[in-house]
């Protein structure tokens, strides 16, 4: 019961952060599940299970978050359409690729990824270009990379999509809203990839492929309720402060994973 209670609390917090920062919640879910499932899941597949479960949760969290952002007309759907085709391919192939990755490789990759994005966001690096003027090949390559990396680390892509859009002079609130929408195709393709990759895999005992059923259900129940609350808060706070908070938040989460 104690583990279920912690998983429900994780759903509350991750759902709120998903709506607030447009990150899908995986940034919190993956590090938390490393600790919560360490006693019941073999280490050889622990990181895979945490990542796969996070992506499965994001499928549902993103629906709730997107509805809240769309009601405020904050999502740039034209940018969403430019990214999505390549993102689907990248996320599915990224999930399949993890089958040959070790626990430590995935853990360190996740942490280093967090640190690099945190630095970009905190120091406010930006381009003189604008997202609307980028060529098709930029969107395709960027989309594939976002999908690939997001599936490997178990996120909805907000930690890459948001910096990419703000770097190209999209307002932070619109970038967060668009990132929330992008999280849905990433999560769907990534989760399907982990189901295929984890089917009858060594060490998998509780779930659909690498997805941990008990953790998935517990987190989803609460996260979908609290994602809209986070989205409402996102539209009432200062954009610059939100970027700083986002960066510090990512760095702290990176520390929790690299010290696991």
DSSP states along the chain: -HHHHHHHHHHHHHHHHHHHHSSTTHHHHHHHHHHHSTTTS-GGGHHHHHHHHHHHHHHHHHHHHHHHHHTTT---HHHHHHHHHHHHHHHHHHHHHGGG--HHHHHHHHHHHHHHHHHHHHTT---SS-GGG--HHHHHHHHHHHHHHHHHHT--SHHHHHHHHHHTT--HHHHHHHHHHHHHHHHHHHHHHHHHHHTT-TT--SEETTEEHHHHHHHHHHHHHHHHHHHHHHTTS-HHHHHHHHHHHHHHHHHHHHT-
Four-CA torsion 67, 229, 184, 192, nearest 10 degrees: -130
pTM: 0.80
* Local confidence pLDDT in tens for the 260 residues of the chain: 778 899 999 999 888 877 776 666 777 888 899 889 888 888 888 888 999 999 999 888 778 778 878 888 889 998 899 999 999 999 999 988 888 888 888 889 888 887 887 887 787 655 555 666 677 888 889 899 999 998 888 877 777 788 788 777 788 778 888 888 888 888 899 999 889 888 877 767 666 888 998 899 999 999 888 877 887 787 777 767 776 777 887 788 788 888 87
Collect all residues with Cβ–Cβ distance below 8 Å to 81 and sequence separation of at least 6.
Answer: none
């Amino acid at each position: 019961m104690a583990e279920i209670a912690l998983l429900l609390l994780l759903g509350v917090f991750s759902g709120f952060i998903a709506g607030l920062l447009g990150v899908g919640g995986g940034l919190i879910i993956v590090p938390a599940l490393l600790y919560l499932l360490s006693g019941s899941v073999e280490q050889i597949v622990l990181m895979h299970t945490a990542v796969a479960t996070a992506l499965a949760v994001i499928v549902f969290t993103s629906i709730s978050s997107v509805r809240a952002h769309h009601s405020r007309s904050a999502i740039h759907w034209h940018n969403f359409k430019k990214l999505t085709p390549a993102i689907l391919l990248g996320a599915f192939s990224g999930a399949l690729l993890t089958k040959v990755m070790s626990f430590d490789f995935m853990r360190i990759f996740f942490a280093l990824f967090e640190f690099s994005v945190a630095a970009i966001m905190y120091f406010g690096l930006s381009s003189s270009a604008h997202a609307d003027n980028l060529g098709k090949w930029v969107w395709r390559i960027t989309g594939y990379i976002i999908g690939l990396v997001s599936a490997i680390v178990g996120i909805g892509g907000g930690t890459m999509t948001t910096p990419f859009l703000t770097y190209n002079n999209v307002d932070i609130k619109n970038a967060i809203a668009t990132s929330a929408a992008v999280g849905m195709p990433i999560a769907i393709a990534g989760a399907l990839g982990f189901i295929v990759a984890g089917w009858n895999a060594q060490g998998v005992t509780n779930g659909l492929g690498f997805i941990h059923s008990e953790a998935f259900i517990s987190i989803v129940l609460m996260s979908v309720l609290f994602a809209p609350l986070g989205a409402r808060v996102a539209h009432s706070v200062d954009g610059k402060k939100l970027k700083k908070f986002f960066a510090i938040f990512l760095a702290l989460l990176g520390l929790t994973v690299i010290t696991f």
